[in-house]
Amino acid sequence: MVATPQSKPTSRPIRILVAKPGLDGHDRGAKVVAAALRDAGMEVVYTGLHQTPEMIATAAVQEDVDVVGLSILSGAHMTLFPRVRKLLDEAGRPDILLTGGGIIPREDMESLERQGVGKLFGPGTPTSDLIGYIESWAVEHLKP
């Protein structure tokens, strides 16, 4: 696992589910992120296109992931992120980090973070920023 200067690696691989919710059919960014996370030593499950929030939450619980990353370009972020968060909480998994990215205005990012969503990333963000964020979160939240 790649360690960032501010963190130490966890004793097991971080498990991440990457999903493309809704009708958005552009998944190149999600695939690039999934590959970067895998290259950083994380276990990645990619669910593919057109996933419902229910499908995403169910897969996250079944796969026993630590993190769910949503890629949303459709503009439905203010509906999809809160719905997935609610479903994860209802499934008894409030411990799962919900993060992601896409075309999300700054004020919406701030609103979503107040609703329990982790840091969100916009277009052009270096994958190293996302990797560092997840690794730092894992050091604080995952048991060795």
Domains and CATH numbers, the chain: 15-141 (3.40.50.280)
The pLDDT of residue 9 is 54
Which token pair is 130? 């996302």
Place of tokens 């552009």: 26
Name residue 105's beta-bridge partners: none
Residue-wise pLDDT for 30-60, tens only, equals 999 999 999 999 999 999 999 999 999 999 9
Mean local confidence (pLDDT), 122-134: 96
Q: Where is average pLDDT lowest: 7-11, 28-32, 36-40, 64-68?
A: 7-11
Specify the pTM.
0.92
Please name the residue that has the structure tokens 């971080």.
14
Crossing angle of helices 106-114 and 77-90, rounded to 10°? 20
